[in-house]
Amino acid sequence: MTEHWPSLTTGRFPRGWFVIGFSEELESGQVRPARYFDIDLAIWRTSAGEPRVFDAFCPHLGAHLGHGGQVEGDSIRCPFHAWGFDSTGKCTDIPYAKRVPPKAQVRSWPTLERNGMVMLWHDPAGGQPEDYVPIMDEFGAEGWTPWVHRMAQIKTHPREVVENVADIAHFGPIHGNEVLSFDAKFEGPTATQSTRTTAYDKKGRLTKQRTVATYYGPGIQFSKMDGEFNTIILNAHIPIDENNLELRMGLLVQGIDYDTRLGRTLGEMWIDALHTGYFQDVAIWEHKQWQDEPMLCDGDGPIADLRRWYAQFYEDIAC
């Protein structure tokens, strides 16, 4: 049976929350340009600390607000003619004009700051944001490190990344893991993979690992890993365009004093190792061809179930 999947040629992107940065990467009063979903954006933080995302171009003469825009309280001024836009995107001030055009406005995207991350809501149909991203008890808790993180751009489509939730057969060839147990569940906006694996480390020692990795929507995955140290791993991706993603990886570790040189070194080594392991998959994704009708066998895992789950984020929902 052919599984439904939106065509790459449609220019559509999934509906949901997507990470655009860690909180520490966006300071109060800061403005930076970005491009996601094939749209130019301006990301900024009000003087009071609230994150905002606007369409980039001023409706006046098209200046990019992310290149030289100035934050004033909860407003941002265009760098070209100093038009002022409030936090909703409405133009409220033109220094040299007596009257503000009533339709002068830029689109403001819904944002959410949670777990030390800044997220934006994307819905081509304009639907209201859903509240499915959990509050992580570990973030900011005593005995846990802050986020140790990395960012990279990779050349692939989101569906390739998400399909790993169901792909049991790649663990051995790509990562050298023996899978002792594997389970995948798809419930509402979440997709959860539970695994127990063994592998040999660089010193030839056999290690065991239990991981529960859950996608919350189409682009944010938290993985809880039990081992010598309890660990939370973030894998978050956001489309730049139809063929490129921005990937953010984050790591929280319990029992490491990140304020010490040793703790910081351990944290950096850990995230580097995760980054290396993840890019074993990236090396495949960036050169493979998507198969609408893959020739599957009985050991491939619930790929059809995963595709049905992911397709929900392309379905239009009434506002």
Q: How many domains does the chain have?
A: 2
Number of other CB atoms surrounding residue 196 within 10 Å: 16
Q: In whole angstroms, how far apart are CA 7 and each of 94, 101, 302, 311?
A: 44, 40, 21, 11
Q: Is residue 141 part of a domain?
A: no
CB 283 within 8 A of CB 154: no
- Is there a domain that residue 7 lies in? no
Report residue 161 as tokens: 């990344």
d(CA 101, CA 236): 39
From first to last of its 319 residues, the chain has per-residue pLDDT tens of 455 555 545 568 999 999 999 999 999 999 999 999 999 999 999 999 999 999 999 999 999 999 999 999 999 999 999 999 999 999 999 999 999 999 999 999 999 999 999 999 999 999 999 999 999 999 999 999 999 999 999 999 999 999 999 988 888 888 878 888 899 999 999 999 999 887 655 555 556 778 899 999 999 999 998 767 789 999 999 999 989 999 999 999 998 888 888 888 888 888 888 888 889 999 999 999 988 888 999 888 999 999 999 999 987 664 4
Q: Do 105 and 184 fall within a single domain? A: no
User: Which residue in this structure is represented by tokens 């239009």?
Assistant: 316
Same domain, 171 and 80: no
Give the span between the Cα atoms of 5 and 2, in whole angstroms. Answer: 9
| Residues ≥6 apart with Cβ < 8 Å to 289 | none
**170 and 49 assigned to the same domain:** no
Tell me if 85 sits within 8 A of 75, measured CB to CB: yes
- What is the value of pTM for the model shown? 0.92
Residue 273 lies in a domain: yes
- What is the structure's pLDDT at 202? 55
Residue pair 65/54 in contact (Cβ under 8 Å)? The answer is yes
Whether residues 212 and 264 share a domain: the answer is: yes
Residue 59 has what pLDDT?
97
Q: How far apart are CA 186 and CA 193, in angstroms?
A: 9
Which of these, 130, 136, 112, lies nearest to 53 by C-alpha position?
A: 112
Do 91 and 209 belong together in one domain? no
Asked if 117 and 193 sit in the same domain, the reply is no
- In the structure encoding, which two tokens stand for residue 304, read together? 């059809």
Residue 298 lies in a domain: yes
Residue ending a domain, among 87, 122, 157, is 122
Are 227 and 183 contained in the same domain? yes
CATH code for the domain in which residue 185 is found: 3.90.380.10
Same domain, 117 and 40: yes
104 & 167 share domain: no
The predicted pLDDT at position 319 comes to 42
- Identify the CATH number of the domain in which residue 57 sits: 2.102.10.10
CA distance 90 to 98: 16
Dist. CA 88–CA 53, nearest whole Å = 10
Domain membership flag for residue 252: yes
Contacts of 187 (CB under 8 A, 6+ apart): none
- Residues 175 and 279 reside in one and the same domain: yes
Hunting for tokens 């051995």 — which residue is that? 172
Residue 127 lies in a domain: no
Structural domain includes residue 131: no
| 199, two tokens | 């592998």
Do 156 and 211 lie in one domain? The reply is: yes
The token pair that represents 294 in the structure block: 């893959």
Q: Please give the residue range of the domain that contains residue 282.
A: 148-313
Q: Is 135 inside any structural domain?
A: no
Distance CA 138, CA 117 (A): 14
The DSSP H or E segment spanning 282 is helix 261-285
Alpha helices by DSSP H, listed for 97-211, are 158-162
Residues 98 and 173 in one domain: no
